Chains A and B, each alone.
Chain A
């Protein structure tokens, strides 16, 4: 069973628009979340992590975490064609006190149309 559910499967936004992704964990042990981006032909690269309830903003990227519902989202404002990529949320059990593996969502394919 998939422990991290991600939506939507794909997304197309105009250049300058807002892109939003959602992720929910079905396992209460997974409470630490990352967002990764993977361009074609590359490995995934971390965009940001979020471990506490609320919003976390880094430049054009804003993540939101609700630990009670185990829901995390990522929003990209002013989307650029270079943002076109696969986006994955990933969850782990414990942030720093054990070498817990990451469990990935299914991914969202983002296309930013000029």
Chain B
């Protein structure tokens, strides 16, 4: 079973509302990813971190999206002003990313519905 913990599992927001989701990566995994999986099951990479530092990120959707992975706190992904098109499953993943193991472990996701 995945040890990446995502909360909440389900999130319903009105258009224009702020949506925030959290992720606790697997212990000892320095690399964290956020992906968006839409209703067609297509994955979109959003951002990744090594420890607290951003490694790669897309142009964060008109700056409405922000993410952080503070030390000793859960990682988070926040949408400042939700839009209908943001409705999707948001997946957090972590990886040890060392020479012995580059597997990426996913959480169960937060399903966001924007009404």
Alpha-carbon distance between A103 and B31 when the two chains are bound, in angstroms? 16
Alpha-carbon distance between A104 and B56 when the two chains are bound, in angstroms? 16
B41–chain A nearest beta-carbon distance, Å: 5
Contact B106 A101 (CB under 8 A): no
Contact B41 A99 (CB under 8 A): no
Known contacts: A43-B4, A43-B106. The answer to whether A88 contacts B98 by CB under 8 A is no
A95 at interface, CB cutoff 8 A: yes
Contact B33 A101 (CB under 8 A): yes
Contact A101 B2 (CB under 8 A): no
Alpha-carbon distance between A101 and B43 when the two chains are bound, in angstroms? 11
Known contacts: A88-B43, A106-B42, A107-B41. The answer to whether A96 contacts B97 by CB under 8 A is yes
Task: Give chain A's interface residue range (CB within 8 Å of chain B).
Answer: 20 to 34
Known contacts: A43-B2, A99-B50. The answer to whether A49 contacts B103 by CB under 8 A is yes
Q: A42 to chain B: which residues have CB within 8 Å?
A: 108
Alpha-carbon distance between A88 and B106 when the two chains are bound, in angstroms? 13
Q: Which of B6, B50, B56 sits near A101, CB closer than 8 Å?
A: B56
B87 at interface, CB cutoff 8 A: no
A95–chain B nearest beta-carbon distance, Å: 5
- A35-46 interface bits toward B, Cβ cutoff 8 Å, 1 = contact, 0 = none: 010000111111
Chain B residue at minimal CB-CB distance from A51: B102
Contact B91 A102 (CB under 8 A): no
Chain A residue at minimal CB-CB distance from B44: A104
Chain B residues with a Cβ under 8 A of chain A: 2, 4, 6, 31, 33, 40-43, 45, 48, 50, 55-56, 91, 93, 95, 97-99, 102-109
Known: A43-B93, A43-B107, A104-B42. 7 other contacts (CB 8 A): A44-B106, A45-B2, A49-B102, A96-B99, A99-B48, A101-B56, A103-B43
- 8 tightest Cβ-Cβ pairs between the two chains A and B: A43-B106, A104-B43, A107-B41, A101-B45, A43-B108, A44-B106, A96-B99, A96-B102
